[in-house]
Amino acid sequence: MAPNNWEEQIKQGLQGREIQPSAQAWDRLDAMLTVAEEKKTKRPFGVYFRYMAVAASVLVLLSLGFYFTSNLSEPEANTPTEVTQKEGSEPQRQPEGTTVNALPIGTPAQTQAVAVQPVATKRPANHEKSAAVSPKKRIINQKIIPTTESYTATAVPVPQTGVQNQPVNPQNTTGVIPKTAVAVVQPQLAKTNIKVDASSLLNQVDGELNQSFRERMFDRLNRNYQSAKSALATRNQE
C-alpha cells in the first residue's frame, strides 16, 4: 500500500517554509544581546566586590572581637596595681607604695603623732587655720579609730598647701613637698581600720564601664551594618 502522500506534502511544505520576521525583531534581539553583554562585563567586578565585602566584614568582626576580649582581660590584670596606687590605705598593700615604704611604719597612733606635729609647728607662720587643724588631728589620733568623716576633715586642710586636689597620689606629694607627704600618710594610716573591699568596687566600676562601652560599640556596629545594608540594597536596585 502506498504511504499517505499528504504527509509527504506537509513535510515538504513545512520543512522549507520561510516566514519573514518583523523589522523590530532584530532590534529587540540587539537590545537583549547588549544587556547580556553588559551583565557579563559587570559580573566579574560584582563577584569580586562581593568577596571583598565578605572579607572586609569578617575582618571587622574579628578585629572587634579581639578588641572586646582585650578590653575585658585588661581590668583583671590591672586591678591589683590600681588598688595599690589608689587605695593605699589598706595595710597589706601599703608596703608596695613608695611613700609609705619610705616612712617608718610602726603603730598607726605613733606615726600619726609624729606626722602631725611638724605640720602643726610649721604652718602657723603661713596659715592661721593650721592651729585649728592640728587639734582635730590630735583628736583623731586619740580616738585611734577614725571614721570617714574624720578622714575628710583631715584631708581638707592639706589642700591649702597645694595638695588638696592630689591627696590620693602619694608620689607627687613625696617628691615635691615632704609636708604634704606626711599629710597624705596620715589619712592613709588613719583609714587602716576601714573595711572597704576596693577590688570589688573597682571591678564593679570597670564592669559598668565595660558594659557601657560594649553597648556603645554594639550600637555603632548595628548602625554601620544598617547603613551598609541599605547601601547594598540601593546598589542592587540600580
Partner 1 sequence: MKVINLHNDEKEWIALALENNRHAQHQLYTKFAPKMLGVCRQYCKDIHQAEDVMITAFMKVFANLKHFQHKGSFEGWIRRIMVNECISFLRVQKKVRFMDDETFFEETHNQIESQLTLDEIQFLIDQLPDGYKMVFNLYCIEGFKHHEIAELLNISEGTSKSQLSHARKMLQQQLNLQKKYTNGTE
Query: Which chain residues interact with partner 1 by CB under 8 A?
Result: 1-7, 9-11, 13-15, 17-22, 25-26, 28-30, 32-33, 36-37
Q: What are the residue ranges of helices labelled H in the chain? A: 5-15, 23-86, 98-102, 108-122, 129-143, 148-155, 170-176, 178-190, 198-237
Q: Which is nearer to partner 1, 19 or 77 (CB)?
A: 19
Q: Which is nearer to partner 1, 26 or 48 (CB)?
A: 26
Q: Which is nearer to partner 1, 2 or 125 (CB)?
A: 2
- In sequence order, the 6+-apart residues with CB closer than 8 A to the CB of 167 are 155, 158, 159, 173, 184, 187
Least separation in angstroms between CB 210 and partner 1:
58
Q: Which is nearer to partner 1, 1 or 125 (CB)?
A: 1
What count of Cα atoms within 13 Å lies in the side-chain half-sphere of residue 190? 29
- C-alpha span between 74 and 207 (Å, rounded): 11
Least separation in angstroms between CB 44 and partner 1:
16
Q: Which is nearer to partner 1, 34 or 121 (CB)?
A: 34
Q: Which residue has the cell 574579628?
A: 62
Q: Provide the CA 54 distance to its chain's centre, in angstroms.
A: 27
Least separation in angstroms between CB 238 and partner 1:
24
What value, to the nearest 5°, has the Cα angle with vertex 125 and ends 124 and 127?
60
Query: Is-contact 110 117, C-beta < 8 A?
Result: no
Least separation in angstroms between CB 43 and partner 1:
13
Least separation in angstroms between CB 35 and partner 1:
10
